Amino acid sequence: MVAFGTSARSLCDNRSNPKDFVLIDARDYADFARFLSECCGLVLGENRQYLVSSRLSRLLDEFGFAKVEDLLRTLRQSSNPTLKSRVIDAMTTNETSWFRDTYPFEILRQVLLPELAARQRPVKIWSAACSSGQEPYSIAMVVAEWEAAFPPKTTPVGIIATDLSETVLSEARAGLYDGLSIARGLSGERRQKFFDSVANGHQIKPEIQRRVRFQKLNLLDSYALLGKFDIVFCRNVLIYFSAETKRRIFDGIARQMNPGGYLLVGASEAATSYTDAFEIVRTPHGTVLRRR
């Protein structure tokens, strides 16, 4: 998300036993940090050699690399998209839940959908860095509930969800969640209403699943082919990016939004510090940004 992707995509602590790897030297670390920033925008910061070594150790073994230097050389000399994707997956984790923070979905239901429906044209929503699908499916549930409550005002609502990682996109498209995943932020009522219990977990119902179209996208690339949006969720994504990259991404999102459209970001992500394309709008349920 760097991608689209990632509800929150963040650098995380080691997954491997410390005996499984050797710390990389300063030069290799700097080269890898530069590669990660160039390909997906993530900023490692200083003195994170332990993190890099622990996250890449299993990948090095799997692909037969003796050290990170060998991995970097292969990445730069070849156009192997699978290897590049696996490296990015190894260095990121997708922290997400259903209806995360609650208030953005109340704003969507109580404020944005009624206002945009009054314009009497289709509404298009983008979930950027969607991770394994909890955010866009939560949006789809809200839309379904809103349509059921106000059928005379129903307007077509399309949802596009993007992420950089093919791994999490595959999980999202499958719409199958285990007991631990399903319990995070999802009420028993919604679980019963929108999911079917199956042998290996909980399967989201087809009427919710088909509302969302998943697509691979790197937030550093062009968004032009996505079209124009009325609502964009880009939450808890950009806190790991440099100021310059944040500015570039916010400006890119703004170009893909219809005038008067709305952007929802994380509580600590001050979009107005990086672009003047939005104004702050306060609602009874929280603040949202409106495209000027």
Distance CA 191, CA 134 (A): 13
Spans of the chain below 50 pLDDT: 1-19
Stated pTM of the model: 0.84
pLDDT at 21: 55
Helix axis angle, 49-63 to 81-91, nearest 10°: 140
Number of H helices, E strands in the chain: 12, 12
Relative to beta strand 176-177, strand 212-216 is: unpaired
Distance CA 236, CA 75 (A): 28
Relative to beta strand 8-10, strand 93-95 is: antiparallel
Cβ atoms of residues 257 and 229 within 8 Å: yes
pLDDT at 53: 84
pLDDT at 92: 72
pLDDT at 144: 97
Minimal CA–CA distance to 42: which of 17, 75, 18, 10?
10
pLDDT at 20: 53
Distance CA 232, CA 15 (A): 32
